[in-house]
Homo-oligomer: A and B are copies of this chain.
Amino acid sequence: MNLHQLTLAALNDHRLFTILDLAGTFAFAISGAVAARDRGLDWFGVVVIAFTVACGGGVLRDLCIGAVPPAGLTDWRYLAVAMTAAWMTVAAGRLVARLAHPVILFDSLGLGLFAVTGAQKAIIYGHGAEVAVLLGVVTAVGGGVTRDVLLTRVPVILQREIYALAALVGASIEVAGERLGWLSSGRTWVALMACFALRYLSLRYKWNLPRPSGSQDNDG
């Protein structure tokens, strides 16, 4: 915990970080719980997968910046949020099912939230811009990859979709804004919405990046 050198401004960042991080936890937990329920797991399995998916990326981030034990394990609010999300998914199953593609919606939201908070936490711990951007992507992508690996299906990140790129854009805006001195609340919403919009619109309108095999003309 090398947090003692935080200034007041950073403390405000820290409070905003916690709120957004819990929101991302909630979003990814819903996404994990729906996927687990659709695979026919029992209710305890649904809670475990929801918690794992919600905290997987954050735990990896915390291990990488030396913030041990990871917040997902020490802060009871993460567990409470994940359990609430899992319970809501199970209890309000018919409501969630009525939403169009709830996994995709909450997965996109969690992607944006974690891209921002992953970058924020690395900055709060005093690391450089490259580490912050990369850990934003790791935090954002970690949950979904963990979910897909545990459910033994090809990770979303590997399909022809804009996924990690959206996280990269969100984390980059957050870090660039911090370096340029933008107000934390302003840059955070821009970064969050940019990542969420890029991911969600790419799914809705089937935007895809070109494949290497298709780009026969050399782009040197």
Highest count of chain B CB atoms <10 Å: which of A45, A68, A93, A127: A45
Cα distance A79–B63 in the bound complex, in angstroms: 20
A158 to chain B, nearest CB (A): 6
Cα distance A145–B147 in the bound complex, in angstroms: 13
Query: Which of chain B's residues have a CB closer than 8 A to the CB of A131?
Result: 69, 73-74
Cα distance A20–B53 in the bound complex, in angstroms: 30
Contact of A158 among B64, B150, B160 (CB under 8 A): B150
Q: Which residue of B lies closest to A167 (CB)?
A: B48
Contacts A63-B63, A135-B73: A218 and B164 contacting too (C-beta < 8 A)? no
Highest count of chain B CB atoms <10 Å: which of A157, A208, A212, A218: A212
Q: Which residue of B lies closest to A48 (CB)?
A: B164
Category for how many chain A residues contact B: 35 or more
State whether B212 touches A46 (Cβ < 8 A): yes
Contacts A45-B158, A153-B152, A215-B43: A134 and B209 contacting too (C-beta < 8 A)? no
Contacts A63-B64, A150-B145: A158 and B41 contacting too (C-beta < 8 A)? yes
Given contacts A46-B212, A63-B68, A64-B69, list 6 more A-B pairs with CB under 8 A.
A41-B158, A64-B70, A64-B73, A73-B135, A74-B127, A74-B130
Binding site for B on A (CB under 8 A): 36-37, 39-46, 48-49, 59, 63-66, 68-70, 73-74, 76, 79, 89-91, 93, 122, 127-128, 130-131, 134-135, 145, 149-155, 157-158, 160, 162, 164-165, 208-213, 215, 218-220
A-B contact pairs, 23 of them (CB 8 A): A37-B211, A41-B160, A41-B212, A42-B210, A42-B211, A43-B209, A43-B210, A45-B157, A45-B160, A45-B209, A64-B73, A65-B69, A66-B68, A69-B127, A73-B134, A79-B130, A79-B134, A89-B212, A91-B218, A91-B220, A150-B157, A152-B152, A152-B153
